[in-house]
Structure 1
Amino acid sequence: MPKLFTKASTLFIILILLALLVFIFLAQKEDNLLKAEVLTADNSDVMNSGISSIGFQHLEVKLIEGKFKNQKFSASNNLTGRPSVDNFFESGDTILVSLNIQSGKVVNVIAVDKYRQNWELLLFLIFIVLLLIYAKEIGLQAIFSFLTSLLIIWKVLVAGLLANTNPILLALLVLILLAAFILFSIAGLTKKGLAAFIGTITGLFISVTIAMLFGSKMSLFGMTAPYAETLIFSGNLELNMQEIFYVAIIIGASGAAMDIAMDVAASMTEIHNKRPELKFVELMQSGFTVGRDVIGTMTTTLLLAYSGSYLPLLMLFVSKQTAISRILNYKVIAAEILRTITGSIGLVLTAPLTALIAAFLLTKEQRLIKNKQK
């Protein structure tokens, strides 16, 4: 069967998705949040202690956009002693400021953050260029999948979770939709794409079952994620953070599951195209071999990805010579262990399931012909 999208149609859809992203960005932009250049920074009311600073920076800034463009204002920057959220500004910095406007006049200006969007955009453009140079048409389809996933997660999953929709059900529906978009846009409406899709979804259902079972047994209620407490105390007391925690686990595992499912399905399709006479069992065994090799590195990849997020905490444990039993029972570490092993179990099962499904689909015509000959 032909691919789901031609090169021209994919490019057209990508342009539409980019336009939607720009529209959403502009629609959510705060009118009083503008870019400004720091002209001077007065640190006389700042107390420094190591890498932390407490107090107020008094800034003189010049707006570089909006109706007050090129006008100069005094701004304040509150330093709380938390380097993870504080910004220490210097002359020449481009920052975001929040304007308090009353009766058409600016009465107060507060420094919010450094302006980083230009570097983020440059990084994204480098990624797109390299992807298109290497992967060409497949790279174009990958960009389409990337943008589609971003829009669905942002406008459907996150919005639905905030609306207190059943987190597990919503996440599964969204991930099924995402898997269909991603896998079929890359592989087309083919047996390869169908095998990867079914294998991915089966692995995700297994992962969420394991996450819910062991998360309950380990008394993990979802408050270990960054900003979980901030979300709750911002007026979202009704949210089920435990199930949202499970959702985060299966979302993290879904990408790796799609990857390994596509690896196995694509390899088996290539083998079948070169050796169409291979029977179901022989082709399935080849898929198992490919899956074992991929799993060997993929599980370690998950471990490295998750442990990298908590590297400073691991360093703290080592520096304090913390006992292993204390580390393993620490809530944050237990949550990451659950996340890592759940994802790994999903991978271990996704690979053989995909191999089984792909072998069944690819040899279906061969079996039908054989049955007619009997």
Structure 2
Amino acid sequence: MKGKKIKAIILIIIITASLLFLFYNLSFQNDTRELRAVVKKVDDSEISGSGVQKFGRQIVRVEIKEGKYKGKIINASNHLIGNLGWDYRFNEGDEILVAISETENNEIRAAVALDVYRQGWILILIALFIILLILYARYIGLKALFSFIGSIFVIWKILIPGLLKGLDPLIFTSFVLLILSALILFSIAGFTKKGFASFFGTSSSLLITIALTIFFGNKLALDGMSSPYVGEMMAAGYFNLNIREIFYAAVVIGASGAAMDIAMDMATTIKELKEQRPDMEMKDLIKSGFNVGSDVIGTMTTTLLLAYAGGYLTLIMAFMTRTATLRRIFNLRIIVSEILRTLVGSIGLIIVAPITTIFAAWLYSKKFKLEKNKD
């Protein structure tokens, strides 16, 4: 038993190290134009502005810490535009990321200070996530890790490029979400009754969520322009994008993750009930599933509210400082957009539980099998 634990720990270490090494090399090592550096001296003489908003250029003298310029000390420019979300003023000793431009003779032409170097701590956080996931969930944790990495790949390499190319946001996003749902649910549950029940519930909830988003989004006259960083996309030249439908797609994406969670919970509940009580009929399975589902939904809807409230906490605080009336708040586009996001997501959760419960109860009441081994 002790030997098995040691082997399991070694396996976790190997898997974690391999994933981090692959992530680091694929993402960062091939780009020699952006290098890690340490700030040796700062010059704020060209910065102006009042209060917290500053404009101008901060000159930072940095020592390059990697690549072919390792050890070289150069000046880098840090441009401040008065946007607190983008600007960062560096101090001596900061470890930062510097963008290098070269001459034809492979010498440094200019350097721009981008931001604080955070990559090392991100890798530590990723390692902690992987270790805890595998330690607790073991084989299921490995499958969850596979679906997690696969989801990142699909979003980064398929969904985002497709949206930027101008593909229909709702149709394309729905297609991608169906692929993601299949990837996540079947990798965890396998091609079993539980897997098919959770996928059916998630897909049904997705379709209903899309319909609700379109209907109420149009009735509330939401155009998506209050979404973060829309201005930056426009400034980059993406005028052909349908911002309204991209906002609708974002609402649907936000709701789909929680719907998958509920669908898997309900399918697992029906599976466990049937295994413990093989004599239970379909109506009894549905009744027990509904009892469990009501408790799950009761907490999950609040969880969804807290998740969205946490993401827009500073926005809520800003309106509180202005002593805005409730009538004004409930008619502001940016606030109504988040109300739509929260309520549509919650409705999707409420719908997915009974749909999955009924379908799973029907599947487990039948004699056919969807896999070689008993589910």
- TM-score with structure 1 length normalisation? 0.90
* 1:176 equivalenced with 2:155 (yes/no): no
Q: Using the alignment, how far apart are the partners of 2:52 and 2:149 within structure 1? A: 38
Counterpart for residue 197 of structure 2: 195
Q: Using the alignment, how far apart are the partners of 1:299 and 1:111 within structure 2? A: 43
User: Which one is further off, 316-325 or 207-216?
Assistant: 316-325
Give the alignment partner of residue 322 of structure 2, picking from 320, 323, 340: 320
Q: Using the alignment, how far apart are the partners of 1:68 and 1:306 within structure 2? A: 44
- Output the amino acid matched with 2:310: G
Preserved contact between residue 147 and residue 184 of structure 2 (Cα < 8 Å)? yes
- Output the amino acid matched with 1:269: K
Q: Using the alignment, how far apart are the partners of 1:205 and 1:23 within structure 2? A: 39
Q: Using the alignment, how far apart are the partners of 2:64 and 2:342 within structure 1? A: 46
For residue 134 of structure 2, give the secondary structure of its aligned residue in structure 1: helix
Within a 5 Å distance, the mapping from 1:207-356 to structure 2 comes to 207-356=209-358
For residue 329 of structure 1, give the secondary structure of its aligned residue in structure 2: coil
For residue 113 of structure 1, give the secondary structure of its aligned residue in structure 2: strand
User: Could you say if the C-alpha distance between residues 346 and 16 of structure 1 is closer, same or farther in structure 2, counting changes exceeding 3 Å?
Assistant: farther
For residue 365 of structure 1, give the secondary structure of its aligned residue in structure 2: coil
Q: How big is each residue's C-alpha offset from its partner over 1:2-38, in whole Å with a ceiling of 9 and x where there is no partner? A: xxxxx9xxx99999987875565259x6432211111
Q: Using the alignment, how far apart are the partners of 1:57 and 1:14 within structure 2? A: 39
Structure 2 runs not aligned, ≥5 long: 1-7, 369-375
For residue 82 of structure 1, give the secondary structure of its aligned residue in structure 2: coil
User: Which one is further off, 191-200 or 53-62?
Assistant: 53-62
CA shift for structure 1 position 159: 1.1
User: Could you say if the C-alpha distance between residues 173 and 15 of structure 1 is closer, same or farther in structure 2, counting changes exceeding 3 Å?
Assistant: farther
For residue 237 of structure 2, give the secondary structure of its aligned residue in structure 1: coil
Preserved contact between residue 37 and residue 95 of structure 1 (Cα < 8 Å)? yes
Q: Alignment RMSD, CA only?
A: 2.3
Q: Using the alignment, how far apart are the partners of 2:279 and 2:309 within structure 1? A: 45
Within a 5 Å distance, the mapping from 1:71-150 to structure 2 comes to 71-103=72-104, 104-150=106-152
Q: How big is each residue's C-alpha offset from its partner over 1:187-210, in whole Å with a ceiling of 9 and x where there is no partner? A: 111101110010001001100110
Q: How big is each residue's C-alpha offset from its partner over 1:254-300, in whole Å with a ceiling of 9 and x where there is no partner? A: 11000000011101100110001111111011111111111101111
Preserved contact between residue 252 and residue 343 of structure 1 (Cα < 8 Å)? yes
Preserved contact between residue 16 and residue 131 of structure 2 (Cα < 8 Å)? no
Counterpart for residue 43 of structure 2: 42
Q: Using the alignment, how far apart are the partners of 2:128 and 2:87 within structure 1? A: 29
Counterpart for residue 25 of structure 1: 27
Q: Using the alignment, how far apart are the partners of 2:354 and 2:316 within structure 1? A: 34
Aligned residues: 357
User: Could you say if the C-alpha distance between residues 290 and 182 of structure 1 is closer, same or farther in structure 2, counting changes exceeding 3 Å?
Assistant: same
CA shift for structure 1 position 335: 0.4
Q: How big is each residue's C-alpha offset from its partner over 1:88-121, in whole Å with a ceiling of 9 and x where there is no partner? A: 1111111111122122221211111111111111
CA shift for structure 1 position 52: 3.3
* 1:60 equivalenced with 2:61 (yes/no): yes
Q: Using the alignment, how far apart are the partners of 2:159 and 2:362 within structure 1? A: 33
- Output the amino acid matched with 1:294: V
Preserved contact between residue 63 and residue 69 of structure 1 (Cα < 8 Å)? yes
Q: Using the alignment, how far apart are the partners of 1:130 and 1:50 within structure 2? A: 44
Q: Using the alignment, how far apart are the partners of 1:334 and 1:164 within structure 2? A: 26
CA shift for structure 1 position 172: 1.1
- TM-score with structure 2 length normalisation? 0.90
Q: Using the alignment, how far apart are the partners of 1:68 and 1:281 within structure 2? A: 71
Preserved contact between residue 284 and residue 355 of structure 1 (Cα < 8 Å)? yes
Q: Using the alignment, how far apart are the partners of 1:152 and 1:26 within structure 2? A: 19
Q: Using the alignment, how far apart are the partners of 2:163 and 2:223 within structure 1? A: 16
Preserved contact between residue 191 and residue 362 of structure 1 (Cα < 8 Å)? yes
Q: Using the alignment, how far apart are the partners of 1:18 and 1:251 within structure 2? A: 27
User: Which one is further off, 32-41 or 250-259?
Assistant: 32-41
Q: Using the alignment, how far apart are the partners of 2:44 and 2:38 within structure 1? A: 17
Preserved contact between residue 47 and residue 54 of structure 2 (Cα < 8 Å)? yes
Q: Using the alignment, how far apart are the partners of 1:212 and 1:279 within structure 2? A: 39
